[in-house]
Each structure stands twice: as structure tokens, then as C-alpha cells.
């Protein structure tokens, strides 16, 4: 027996002793103590009593999702196969034709727009964003739907055509119209979703709905594709509680395929920088499985109970009133609104600052003490708003005690 063959056989024997190929990687990775890099770097942990705000690192992943991410990190795979099979799985779970995991909803807006511009003309991918003179590049939008994420669409070299009335909408189509964009949680705009889709389709133009922050309810994940929108996006790191840098692009099979032409790992595309690693792709899939295992009633009851526990700790303070408020569409979960006599207690912005400076450091909803709340929250110039849904177990009690102390602190 040659040396090579002997070592091959002893290698196989060891392998069999280890229980087969599949068990090797996890065994080799067992039980490495984790370093707390927040502590090592001096980064402050916070209690998130605000909500799924990107600047506060949005949601945290449930244990099942974290475990799936961790396991996915132990083995390389072929990226194209993972992208394709995760897309098929998500599409079947979310009742749409096709799906892809993107680097967030903002990336989905860019890739979906690129798909509309290059459908049937794959060679044009390289022309985006600057060399678009011979491509369709007009996106119709309601004036009240212009928002901060416009730039994700403009990244493809498009320009917006604004409309207000249904008549204006019907008259806005030109041979250059490439897409009709809808902002699902917009607070202005008179044209309904149904009309938006119907008129676009009468002109053979695809319709995109940005519903990034609009779960729960869970059924929204299929409501808009089933309504006829050709493309729909949800953020992965908001209510679904996947990785913060993941999101979903859902919709028509031909458009999702065209979106992959502009996606990482393809160079010379608008999407090359929107790379989603295997861990985040798996994390997004696992988060969908987790989210679909929840019920709307269960989630709402839990969030309401947290809001009630915090309110119960405050309501004997003279002049303090509370209400549990549900925004209508985006972030449609119970928020605690605390109104009080501002001559007796510190104003809301001072309470926010006190909680932020405390230990542990707490972030209240950023609409606290502000006139115009984001995403369906009311005017809270004279109010504190607690977003309870991203609190970890037990944190509602800490928030309640800190709020009580801050309200009772002498002015
Ligand atoms: C949060 C949000 C986005 C961006 O989502 P990311 O996943 O952070 O990229 C886009 N559109 C709307 C309406 C949002 O609320």
C-alpha cells in the first residue's frame, strides 16, 4: 500500500468515527466562548423603546433566526443556488410567483426598478444609471408618495413624473414610462391601490408597492402581490425580525429574474454593492418561518400587555393620562402615548434626554415631544410615545420605572 492510500484510509476511518461528513463542521466549531465586542469597543447597549428604526439597529433576531444564521456561517455554498432556492422557498411561503432576498427594502427598490428598465433587454444592465437615454426611464408617482426612499429608485437613472388626480394619472403615460410606484403607508394621495394597479396594467406598465414597514398584520406579506402589484418590498429587519441588512423583493417571475441580472455577484451593475451574504439570506428565510409561526392576535396581545404594564406604573402620578394608540398602517402595533400636565413635570424632550443618559440607556420613540410623528403617529408635542414591540423580555418594567422616576424628578 502506498503512503497516499494509507493516509486516505486512515482519513476515512477517522471520518467514520466522527459519525460521517455531515457532523464534522459543527463538531469542529463547538463551544467557542463569544467575546462581547460591544463591551470591548465601548459601544453602549440600549433598551429600544422606540421601534424598528434603522439608526437604532432596528429589530433583534429571535433565537431561532440567530441559530440559523450561526449554522449557515459554518459552511460555504454556491451563492447562485442559495439565492435561487431561498427565492423559491420564500415565494411558496408568501404565495407569490417569485421572490429574492435583497440587502433591505431600499435595495429592493433599486433592483426592482432596474428590473423594469431592463426587462427583455438584459444587455442594458450595464447602462444604468447614467446611460439611459435609449431606455424607458420615467416613473409615475403620486405627489403625496414622494419620500426619502425616492433616491433608491433614482439610483437607476430614472426621473419621476408626479400626478395627483386619476385623470392626470391616466394622461401621464408616455412611451418612456417604465414603472408606476406606490408608497403603501403614504398619508397623502387620492388614488387607491386598486386604481393604481388597474390603470398601470391598462398601459402594460409594471407597478411597484413599497410596503417596507407594513407588517404586522402577517397577511400583508401576500395581500399586495395578490392585489396585482407586480413588485412588492418588505424590510427584513423591521417587523419580520430578520437581519437588519436584509429585505424582500416579491412579485412577477420575469421581473424577479430581471432583478437578479443587476444583483450581486454580477459586476458592472447598480446592485453589485448590495451584496447579501449567505448568513443574511438564511437569516431572512428563517425569519419568515419564525414570523409565519406567530399569530397577529398573539403579537398584538403581547404588545398591548407591555404597554399596559408600563402605564400601570405611571397612572397614579397626578395629571398623567395615557392611551394605547395603533398607527393605521406602518408599524401597526399598539404604542403607549403618555400625556401629562407640562406645568408639573418636565417636558417630553427632557424626559427623552434623561432616559437616554441613564443606565441602562433607553431610547423612547423619536416622535416624543415632536409635532409630526413619523409613520402614522399623532402629534406628540406634549406627549411621550413608547414603542413597545422591540423590547426584550423584562425591559418593559425597567422602562416603566425609569419613566416614573423621570416624571417625578423635580423640574
Ligand atoms: C424602512 C423603509 C425602507 C427601507 O428599508 P431597509 O430595509 O432599511 O432598506 C424603505 N421604505 C419604507 C417605506 C420604509 O419604511
pLDDT for res 378: 84
Judge if the beta carbon of residue 248 lies within 6 A of ligand 1.
no
Which residues, 6 or more positions from 7, have their beta carbon under 8 angstroms from its beta carbon?
A: none
Q: What percent of the chain is modeled with pLDDT above 70?
A: 92
Q: Which three cell numbers stand for residue 237?
A: 429587519
- What value does the mean pLDDT take over residues 321-337? 91
Q: Which three cell numbers stand for residue 395?
A: 425591559
- Best of 50, 104, 112 for a ligand 1 pocket test (most atoms within 8 Å of beta carbon): 104
pLDDT digits (tens, 9 = 90+) for 276-311: 999 999 999 999 999 999 999 999 999 999 999 999
pLDDT for res 48: 98
Q: At what angle do helices 79-93 and 278-292 cross, to 10 degrees?
A: 10
Nearest to 282, CA basis, from 1, 29, 70, 30: 70
Judge if the beta carbon of residue 235 lies within 6 A of ligand 1.
yes
Judge if the beta carbon of residue 149 lies within 6 A of ligand 1.
yes
According to CATH, the topology of domain 63-292 is 3.40.640
The closest-lying atom of ligand 1 relative to the alpha carbon of residue 183 is 13
User: What spacing in Å lies between the alpha carbon of 109 and ligand 1's midpoint?
Assistant: 9
pLDDT for res 276: 98
Q: What percent of the chain is modeled with pLDDT above 90?
A: 85
Which residues, 6 or more positions from 296, have their beta carbon under 8 angstroms from its beta carbon?
A: 216, 217, 218, 219
CATH of domain 296-408: 3.90.1150.180
Counts for the chain of helices (H) and strands (E), in that order: 15, 12
Burial 296-306 (b: 16+ CB within 10 A, else e): eeebbebbbeb
For residue 256, which phi and psi values (nearest 5 degrees)?
Answer: -65, -40
pLDDT for res 117: 98
The full DSSP string for 91-117 is: HHHTTSSEEEEESSHHHHHHHHHHHHH
Judge if the beta carbon of residue 54 lies within 6 A of ligand 1.
yes
pLDDT for res 342: 85
Average predicted confidence (pLDDT) for the chain: 92
Residues 286/288/291/293 CA torsion (nearest 10 deg): -80
* 296-408 has the same fold as 63-292: no
Distance from C-alpha of 54 to C-alpha of 247, rounded to nearest angstrom: 13
The closest-lying atom of ligand 1 relative to the alpha carbon of residue 109 is 10
- What value does the mean pLDDT take over residues 350-362? 97
Q: If you count them, how many residues does the chain have?
A: 411
Instruction: Report how far apart, in Å, the C-alpha atoms of 266 and of each of 46, 101, 126 are.
Output: 38, 15, 10
pLDDT digits (tens, 9 = 90+) for 221-230: 999 999 999 9
Provide the pairing of β-strand 177-183 with 138-142.
parallel
Provide the pairing of β-strand 207-210 with 177-183.
parallel
User: Is 230 in contact with 252 (CB distance < 8 Å)?
Assistant: yes
pLDDT digits (tens, 9 = 90+) for 191-248: 999 999 999 999 999 999 999 999 999 999 999 999 999 999 999 999 999 999 999 9
pLDDT for res 106: 98
Where along the chain do its domains lie?
63-292, 296-408
pLDDT digits (tens, 9 = 90+) for 250-264: 999 999 999 999 999
Distance from C-alpha of 8 to C-alpha of 235, rounded to nearest angstrom: 49
Backbone region of residue 178 per phi and psi (left: phi > 0; alpha: psi in -120 to 50; beta: other values): alpha
pLDDT digits (tens, 9 = 90+) for 45-104: 999 999 999 999 999 999 999 999 999 999 999 999 999 999 999 999 999 999 999 999
Amino acid at each position: 500500500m502506498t503512503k497516499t492510500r494509507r493516509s486516505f484510509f486512515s482519513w476515512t476511518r477517522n471520518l467514520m468515527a466522527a459519525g460521517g461528513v455531515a457532523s464534522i463542521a459543527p463538531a469542529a466549531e463547538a463551544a467557542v466562548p463569544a467575546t462581547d465586542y460591544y463591551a470591548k469597543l465601548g459601544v453602549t447597549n440600549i433598551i429600544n423603546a422606540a421601534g424598528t428604526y434603522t439608526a437604532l439597529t432596528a429589530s433583534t433576531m429571535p433565537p431561532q433566526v440567530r441559530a440559523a444564521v450561526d449554522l449557515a456561517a459554518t459552511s460555504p455554498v454556491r451563492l447562485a443556488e442559495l439565492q435561487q432556492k431561498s427565492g423559491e422557498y420564500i415565494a411558496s411561503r408568501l404565495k407569490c410567483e417569485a421572490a429574492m432576498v435583497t440587502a433591505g427594502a431600499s435595495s429592493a427598490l433599486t433592483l426592482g426598478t432596474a428590473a423594469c428598465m431592463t426587462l427583455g433587454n438584459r444587455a442594458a444592465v450595464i447602462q444604468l444609471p447614467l446611460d439611459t437615454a435609449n431606455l424607458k426611464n420615467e416613473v409615475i408617482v403620486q405627489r403625496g408618495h414622494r419620500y426619502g426612499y425616492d433616491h433608491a429608485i433614482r439610483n437607476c437613472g430614472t426621473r419621476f413624473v408626479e400626478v395627483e388626480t386619476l385623470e392626470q394619472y391616466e394622461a401621464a403615460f408616455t412611451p418612456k414610462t417604465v414603472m408606476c410606484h406606490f408608497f403603501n403607508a403614504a398619508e397623502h394621495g387620492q388614488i387607491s391601490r386598486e386604481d393604481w394597479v388597474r390603470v398601470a396594467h391598462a398601459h402594460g406598465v409594471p407597478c411597484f408597492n413599497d410596503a417596507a414597514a407594513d407588517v404586522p398584520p402577517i397577511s400583508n406579506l401576500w395581500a399586495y402581490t395578490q392585489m396585482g402589484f407586480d413588485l412588492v418590498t418588505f424590510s427584513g429587519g423591521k417587523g419580520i425580525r430578520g437581519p437588519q441588512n436584509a429585505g424582500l423583493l416579491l412579485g412577477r417571475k420575469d421581473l424577479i429574474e430581471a432583478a437578479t441580472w443587476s444583483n450581486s455577484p454580477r459586476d458592472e451593475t447598480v446592485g453589485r454593492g448590495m451584496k447579501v451574504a449567505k448568513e443574511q439570506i438564511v437569516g431572512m428565510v428563517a425569519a419568515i418561518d419564525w414570523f409565519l409561526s406567530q399569530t397577529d392576535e398573539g403579537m398584538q396581545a403581547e404588545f398591548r400587555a407591555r404597554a399596559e404594564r408600563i402605564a400601570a406604573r405611571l397612572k397614579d402620578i397626578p395629571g398623567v393620562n395615557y392611551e394605547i394608540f395603533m398607527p393605521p398602517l406602518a408599524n401597526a402595533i399598539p404604542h403607549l402615548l403618555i400625556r401629562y400636565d407640562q406645568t408639573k413635570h418636565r417636558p417630553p424632550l427632557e424626559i427623552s434626554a434623561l432616559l437616554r443618559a441613564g443606565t441602562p440607556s433607553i431610547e423612547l420613540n423619536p416622535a416624543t415631544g415632536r409635532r409630526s410623528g413619523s409613520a402614522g403617529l399623532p402629534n406628540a408635542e406634549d406627549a411621550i410615545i413608547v414603542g413597545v414591540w422591540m423590547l426584550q423580555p423584562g425591559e418593559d418594567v425597567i422602562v416603566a420605572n425609569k419613566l416614573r422616576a423621570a416624571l417625578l424628578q423635580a423640574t
